[in-house]
Amino acid sequence: MSFPDFMRQLRDIYSPDRMFTEKGPLAAFESDGLTAFAVKPRAVVFPADNDEVIQTVRACHDHGIPFVARGSGTSLSGGSLPDSEGIVIGLNRMNRILRICPDRRIAVVQPGTINIEVSNAVAEHGLYYAPDPSSQTVCTIGGNVAFNSGGAHCLKYGMTSNHVLGIKAVLGNGDIVQMGSESRERIGPDETGLFVGSEGLFGIALEITLRLLPKPESFYTVLAGYDSVEKAGDAVSSIIASGLLPGAMEIMDSLSMEAAHKAVGAEFPDGAEATLIVELDGSGDQVEVERVILDQLVQQSGPAAIRIARDDVDRAVVWKGRKSAFSAVGHLSPDFIVQDSVVPRTKLGQALRSISELGKAAGIRVANVFHAGDGNLHPLILYDGNVPGEFQRAEQLAGEIVKICIQLGGSITGEHGVGMEKRQYLDKMFSEADIEVMHRIRHQLDPKTLSNREKMFPSEEAPSLGLYGLHPLEKAGLISRE
């Protein structure tokens, strides 16, 4: 069948105001948060319900048309970059919270639901949704599921995968699956865990069942300034070694603090080369006991200055400053690349020294901000794309940082995903056999590799059978046609 036939089928599904094919409107969808990559799709559609998503995916499968699901487009790895021969399925209109069960502490939402809106909707019940990416005021739950997003408080509360109980989805081959349930008790294979973090390679989530938590009763937020980033990293190790489990531990260096102050007026300890933000949360009695231990540990770590958040308003400004860091560096540089790699906590100091040395050698400034508690680095590589060759040097520096993290026993990504940005490094971290298994699962669920094609893997070529001729998933009873 031809592309014109496919487009006629789409026009039977979508009204003109929910289907774009002209050059102007398509330009807004040619890239995501990683603007270094840009591809214009052939069409963008905006389904209003599950049936329209399912019809669209099945039409793509029948005609062999690649598709990319997109929420707010905040991916920083090129994860929602279109295919030049395919379409974008925009899920922004599927943004309803379908059901809230306060007694069971769950919420069922559509994929276009904005992250923070879940917490806003359940606040009256004393509950909230824990994963808090920096972009939580704009990013969608569907995108969080695709990339297993974390956030500042993932040290204590975990990633998106720890808070998704069930998913109804349409796979790349058009099949409808129900993974998981509304229960916290799982029986059998964890299909939900497989889907979360799959970067859209399996299909599109239609309904997502989220686990909610009681809002903490009390908070204690301290900012400790140090004369070096390494000292701040050493403080993290000592706090973790003590047995304390803070809600969050973040580090910002002088460049990222300067940017956050210019952007939102956030206050940090004067003259610090790095600031460690530590937040305790929980019951009032628990926080009172833990703050005594934390204060002692911080004092012993040799800070140059200490500031404690005065109240909830001040605490909100602290976190606004931390979460604005990515966009705030626009005050310091016209362009930047956000890297996302992980190292063991014990190797934080070594990793930061290496990043500093690499940046100086390349003649490029690097602002560091990261989830210190779990070693998830977010170096912000500052460059000017109008200067010939500077983007290429920035890209080369980003690649060197990834390699350093792998050598230190870390990961090529913590929460931003592999996407387009780091797919050439996948085989530096995983063996050929590992990648073959990933390929086989992908091809089983999306035989034509239409869903988010050309992401994560260096190549979409079908794998050989090798030693892995067995069916990768037991799908009996899992799939049903609607």
- How long is the chain? 482
Say what the pLDDT of residue 183 is. Answer: 84
461 confidence band (pLDDT: 50, 70, 90)? low
Of the two residues 60 and 474, the one the predictor is more confident about is: 60
185 confidence band (pLDDT: 50, 70, 90)? confident
Say what the pLDDT of residue 119 is. Answer: 98
pLDDT digits (tens, 9 = 90+) for 112-153: 999 999 999 999 999 999 999 999 999 999 999 999 999 999
pLDDT digits (tens, 9 = 90+) for 340-384: 999 998 888 889 889 999 999 999 999 999 898 889 999 999 999
Q: Which residues 6+ apart lie within 8 Å of 166 measured at CB? A: 178, 179, 180, 181, 182, 192, 208, 209
Go through the domains of the chain in sequence order and give each one's CATH number: 3-90 (3.30.43.10), 101-214 (3.30.465.10), 218-326 (3.30.70.2190), 333-424 (3.30.70.2740)
For residue 24, pLDDT beyond 80: yes
Residues above pLDDT 70, as percent of the chain:
95
Per-residue pLDDT averaged across 211-227, rounded? Answer: 97
pLDDT digits (tens, 9 = 90+) for 277-286: 999 999 999 9
For residue 470, pLDDT beyond 50: no
Q: What is the Cα–Cα distance from 239 to 242, expressed in whole angstroms?
A: 5
Pairing of strands 106-109, 203-211: antiparallel
Q: Are 355 and 397 in contact (CB under 8 A)?
A: no
pLDDT digits (tens, 9 = 90+) for 395-421: 999 999 999 999 999 999 999 999 999
Q: What is the Cα–Cα distance from 106 to 127, expressed in whole angstroms?
A: 10
473 confidence band (pLDDT: 50, 70, 90)? very low
pLDDT digits (tens, 9 = 90+) for 225-271: 999 988 998 899 899 999 999 999 999 999 999 999 999 888 999 88
Angle at 50 between CA 44 and CA 54, to 5 degrees: 65
Pairing of strands 366-371, 376-383: antiparallel
Say what the pLDDT of residue 472 is. Answer: 36
Look at residue 121 and give its three-state secondary structure: helix
1 confidence band (pLDDT: 50, 70, 90)? low
Say what the pLDDT of residue 345 is. Answer: 86
Which of 159, 166, 77 has its CA nearest to residue 115?
159
Q: What is the Cα–Cα distance from 256 to 457, expressed in whole angstroms?
A: 32
Q: What is the Cα–Cα distance from 157 to 153, expressed in whole angstroms?
A: 6
Q: Are 305 and 371 in contact (CB under 8 A)?
A: no
Say what the pLDDT of residue 394 is. Answer: 93
For residue 481, pLDDT beyond 70: no
Per-residue pLDDT averaged across 315-331, rounded? Answer: 91
User: Average pLDDT, whole number, for the chain?
Assistant: 92
For residue 200, pLDDT beyond 90: yes
For residue 466, pLDDT beyond 50: no
36 confidence band (pLDDT: 50, 70, 90)? confident
